[in-house]
Amino acid sequence: MKRDFLGYAALVASLVGTASAEYGLALAVGFGPWLAACVPAALDIYALRAFASKRDVPAVVAALIAVNACAHLVAAGLLPVCIPLVVGVSAIAPLVLYRVHALTAHSAPRNAPAADVPTTAPAPEPAPAERPVVPTPVTAARQPARSAPAHPAIASDDADELLAEARALAARLGRTPPLRMLQAELSIGQRRAQRLQATLAA
């Protein structure tokens, strides 16, 4: 993989330049030599973390510009060291700590291993109780549905031309056929099946 040495060199030069200004600003507002070094370290590390995660890039660039501008204004005597400036420089470390933590928390799920997926399928839910189904002869169940001619929707109970077929069906079952069986076997509607059923039960 080809390395971008010019890009690395520009990055290092920029960080060194900003770090020196940030260090001088921290000294100017009253930080000790060792504590002042933490200000540029925090800002530069935050910048690298933001560039790596591709988040907070505009915010970190704006912070670097503001801090460096204040450092050079103080060094040139154009900006006096005042309470707001001291408070702002003192807030750099806590703010950087918060943002770096947020960036780390945001990128953690991408690198985390996938959760174990259970290999066993969940147990199926129990089927609801079904009404008992009257067994039908196997031969009748296997026979394809016959295409019966359309029967008149209204017929009297005594002179229904399907009464003979209904009685034959009842004889095969040994009892009065259910409504659904009469409808399916004779290709009739519910009312006509009810009349036939009542005639067979009489």
pLDDT at 154 > cutoff 50: no
pLDDT, one tens digit per residue, over 100-113 is 888 777 665 554 45
pLDDT, one tens digit per residue, over 13-65 is 877 878 888 888 889 999 988 988 888 888 888 888 888 888 888 988 888 89
pLDDT, one tens digit per residue, over 77-128 is 899 989 999 998 988 888 888 888 887 776 655 544 545 555 555 666 655 5
pLDDT for 73 equals 93
CA atoms within a 13 Å half-sphere pointing along the CA-CB vector of 201: 10
